Chain A
Amino acid sequence: MTRSRRIRLQALRFVIFALAAAFFLVPIGAMFEFSTRGIGINSARTFSAWAAIPSTPELATAITVSLELALITSLLMLGLLLPTMVWVRLRLPRLNRIVEFICLMPLTVPAIALVVGIKPLYIWISLNFTDSILALSFAYLILVLPYAYRSLDAGLAAIDLKILTEAARSLGAGWGTVMLRVVVPNMPTAILNASLLSASLVLGEYTFANLLNYENLQVAIQYVSLVSAGTSIAVAVASLLFAFVLLMILSFAGGRLQVRSPGQRA
């Protein structure tokens, strides 16, 4: 490659990066700008909208609830998906495609169709078991399946699952120990990826919560915006930034742990 071509390529990269950055940052910057406006045309900048977040009770509970949902959904997802995928790979490899198909299906069904289908079930749950919003985790579990599956699938493909589990079994480990002591420690990146993707999806979810009459973070932002536009935008910015931070952790941790796997196309 000649020198001038390399410089041009660099320039092109920079332009694309700048455009992409602008695409994401300008709206957030605008939101931030809006959330710090004072009342009246020429009034000074103020953080009163931000300061109002903790003192708006709906918001405070909604934030807590959404974080709890994110955590529970991630744990449920790992508890359900990881053992299933390991078992299918080891014992029922023919089912691999079917499991993949099932896990990816939620991507192809619009959220609104899922909600309509799931609504009677949730009415029954709230009447007979619990009206806690945390029951939403089960619906969210379905939503996060495609992303979590992809990530865990890549992690499992990178280790010699069969040999490692057989070695552990022959040394006296039961299946639970095999999972916790051998499988999980050897795919930290994949598990982190799956969890963070699930968490950020749950934090941004609106359709399910709203149509099933639960008040999660996004629904609360919507309500608050009716009363105080500034505060609702401030929360929206904060939750976006939080998701960004999660994704940054993901990509940095991923990049650091990936060094081990050779054989990728350059």
Chain B
Amino acid sequence: MGTITRAAATGVEVRLEHLRRVFAGVVALDELSLTLAPGELVALLGPSGCGKTTALRLVAGLDEVTSGKVLFGGTDVTTLGANRRDVGMVFQAYSLFPHMTARQNVAFGLQMRRVDEQERKRRADAMLELVGLSGFADRYAHQLSGGQQQRVALARALAIQPKVLLLDEPLSALDAKVRGRLRDEIRRVQLEVGITTLFVTHDQEEALAIADRVGVMNKGRLEQLGPPTTIYTRPATPFVAEFVGLTNRIEGDVKGGEVIVRGTRLPLVRPDTPDGQAVALVRPEAVSLGSDGDAGGDAGGGPLVGTVIAVAFLGATSRVTVDLGDVIVLAQMPTSQASAHPAGSRVRLTLRPDPVLIARDETAAAEA
């Protein structure tokens, strides 16, 4: 435990086996099993109360499991206290020790490991340099901005060359611009150090941007685990579809493994869905626009004709809001295409036949 070499910092496999945590009869985490490959960054994504923070705290040893196991590199650490687990942790709230300078903060964990003073200083300075704060070693927390404090916290967590890096919404307290920069910074440092990392967030953009794999959690359970592109393009459950990315909810008819949405047949992700009225979940990217009348046919106003009520410019792409009379539909497309449809113009919608999911009744009720 005492010797900390450079090799110790390269990632170990982290395995969570059937983790379960019950607080006073309430199941906060239900049978979570997850294996992080050495050096991998996995993001746990979900709304507040979904159990993602509980999972992180169980890995950190800051909370005790009701049942299940946590293994680092094959070693069972479930019963080890937080101070003996060798984890680096960055918290959502600013957590620097207010009575210490940035350098002393970073060196704290090394001091706990009885590293001698010169080596402590050298390593603390190297870590501060890694996070781009070489000139701030002698500042106290209250002399640093929020983003700088979180960088110091990251340096502090990494200085002990932990087996696992745990990030508990480290960007949530920061403003949007700093958040984006620090997010990329965290990823750069994580790749550079090669440490296995568990990152917890409620911000899907953050999770999709930074992670090798994303685990979407809901009500204590892992709904889907996969690479960001899979999570986004092929959500496994309606919850994932609605939580990750924007989704249109359009009524349709399920019949024989397909859903008919206003005359367009769309395949279903789950063809075994029972027939009947249902709400289809359609991604804005799957909606394209043409000028009304272009397509010929029923020019008098077919089932998918509406009026553009707003165009949001997002940079390379734009999001067009179309009023179909009884429902509002979002369409996302390259800005060059969107410019052909200014607000007020009549448009015809085409739905790309990607497989879609059907909204569950319970989520429909929750949204209402």
Interface positions, chain B 323-361, Cβ under 8 Å from A, are none
The verdict on B83 contacting chain A, using a C-beta distance below 8 Å, is: yes
Q: Verify if A172 is at the interface (C-beta below 8 Å from B).
A: yes
CB of A131, distance to nearest CB on chain B (Å) = 43
Q: Contact between B62 and A171 (Cβ–Cβ < 8 Å)?
A: no
CB-contacts of A133-186 with B (<8 A) = 159-160, 163-164, 166-174, 177, 181-182, 185-186
Q: Contacting A186 at CB < 8 Å: which of B94, B98, B153, B156?
A: B98
Among B108-116, B223-231, B239-247, the stretch that binds chain A is B108-116
In the complex, A172 Cα to B82 Cα: how many Å? 7
* Most chain A CB within a 10 A radius of its CB, from B62, B87, B95, B157: B95
Taking a contact as CB atoms closer than 8 A, the residue among B93, B153, B157 that contacts A160 in the complex is B93
Q: Which chain B residues (120-173) contact chain A, with CB distance < 8 Å?
A: 142, 153, 156-157, 160, 166
A5 an interface residue at 8 Å Cβ cutoff?
no
**B160 in contact with A171 (CB, 8 Å):** yes
Tell whether, in the assembled complex, residue A170 and residue B97 are in contact, meaning their CB atoms are under 8 Å apart: no
Taken together as a complex, chains A and B put the C-alpha atoms of A129 and B235 apart, in Å, by: 74
Judge whether A171 and B112 touch: CB under 8 Å: yes
Do A170 and B84 contact each other (CB < 8 Å), given the known contacts A164-B97, A186-B99? Answer: no
Give the chain B neighbours of A173 by CB distance below 8 A.
Answer: 83, 108, 112
Question: Which residue of the partner chain A has the closest CB to B96?
Answer: A167
**A170–B62 CB distance below 8 A:** yes
CB-CB under 8 A from A181, the residues of chain B are 108
Q: Which chain B residue shows the least CB distance to A162?
A: B93
Cβ of A167 and Cβ of B95 under 8 Å apart? yes
Closest-CB distance, A176 to chain B (whole angstroms): 11
The one of A159, A166, A172, A260 that contacts B160, using a Cβ cutoff of 8 Å: A172
Please give, as numbers and ranges, the residues of chain A lying within 8 Å of B98 by CB-CB distance. Answer: 159, 186
CB pair B91–A163 under 8 Å, yes or no, is: yes
| Known A-B contacts A167-B89, A167-B91, A260-B142; A174 and B83 likewise in contact (beta carbons under 8 Å) | yes
Q: CB-CB < 8 A to A260: which residues of B?
A: 142
B81: CB under 8 A from chain A? Answer: yes
Q: Taking the nearest CB of chain A, how far is it from the CB of B71, in angstroms?
A: 18
Contact of B83 among A170, A182, A186 (CB under 8 A): A170
Given contacts A166-B62, A186-B99, are A171 and B108 in contact (CB under 8 A)?
Answer: yes
| Interface of chain B residues 41 through 64 with chain A (CB within 8 A) | 60-62
Min CB distance A180 to B, Å, is: 12
**Chain A residue with Cβ nearest B142:** A260
A172 touches B142 (CB 8 A): no
A185 and B112: CB pair below 8 A?
no
Q: Fill in one digit per residue for B65-85: 1 if any A CB lies within 8 Å of its CB, else 0.
A: 000000000000000011111
List, in ascending order, chain B residues with CB within 8 A of A185's CB.
97, 99
B88 touches A172 (CB 8 A): no
Determine the distance from Cα of A222 to Cα of B37 in the docked complex, in whole angstroms: 78
Taking a contact as CB atoms under 8 Å apart, the answer to whether B91 and A166 are in contact is yes
Smallest distance from the beta carbon of A11 to chain B beta carbons, Å?
40
| Chain A neighbourhood of B109, CB < 8 A | 171-172
Pair A172/B112 contact, Cβ less than 8 Å? yes
Question: Contacts A166-B82, A170-B62, A170-B82; is A186 near B97 (CB within 8 Å)?
Answer: yes
Given known A-B contacts A172-B112, A172-B160, A186-B98, A163 and B93 have beta carbons under 8 A apart: yes
B60's nearest neighbour on chain A, judged by CB, is A170
- Return chain B residues, CB-CB under 8 Å to A174: 83
Residue of A nearest to B98 (CB): A186
Bound-state CA distance A160–B93 (Å) is 9
Contacts of B83 in A (CB 8 A): 169-174
Interface pair A168/B97, CB less than 8 Å apart? yes
Which of A171, A173, A182, A186 is the most central at the interface, judged by chain B CB atoms within 10 Å of its CB?
Answer: A171
Q: How far is the CB of B65 from chain A (nearest CB, A)?
A: 17
For residue B73, give the distance in angstroms from its CB to the closest CB of chain A.
18
Contact indicator B142/A177 (Cβ below 8 Å):
no
Q: Which of A169, A173, A181, A260 has the most CB of B within 10 A?
A: A169
Would B95 and A164 count as touching, CB distance under 8 A? yes
Cβ distance B190 to chain A, nearest Cβ, rounded Å? 17
* Alpha-carbon distance A177/B83, docked complex (angstroms): 11
Asked if residues A172 and B113 are in contact (CB atoms below 8 Å), the reply is: yes
Min CB distance, A191 to chain B, in Å?
A: 13
User: Do A166 and B89 contact each other (CB < 8 Å), given the known contacts A172-B84, A186-B97, A186-B98?
Assistant: yes
With A and B bound together, what is the CA distance between A181 and B81 in angstroms?
19
Closest to B113 in A: A172
Residue from the set A170, A173, A186 with the largest chain B CB neighbour count within 10 Å: A170
Contacting A177 at CB < 8 Å: which of B87, B99, B112? B112
Instruction: Show 24 A/B contacts (Cβ-Cβ < 8 Å), sorted by A.
Output: A159-B98, A160-B95, A163-B91, A163-B93, A164-B97, A166-B89, A167-B96, A167-B156, A168-B97, A169-B83, A170-B61, A170-B82, A170-B83, A170-B166, A171-B83, A172-B86, A172-B112, A173-B83, A173-B108, A177-B112, A185-B99, A186-B97, A186-B98, A260-B142
Top-4 shortest CB links A-B: A171-B109, A172-B112, A169-B82, A170-B89
| Extra 11 A-B pairs, beta carbons < 8 Å, given A164-B97, A167-B97, A171-B83 | A160-B93, A163-B94, A166-B60, A166-B91, A167-B91, A168-B97, A170-B61, A170-B62, A170-B87, A170-B88, A177-B112
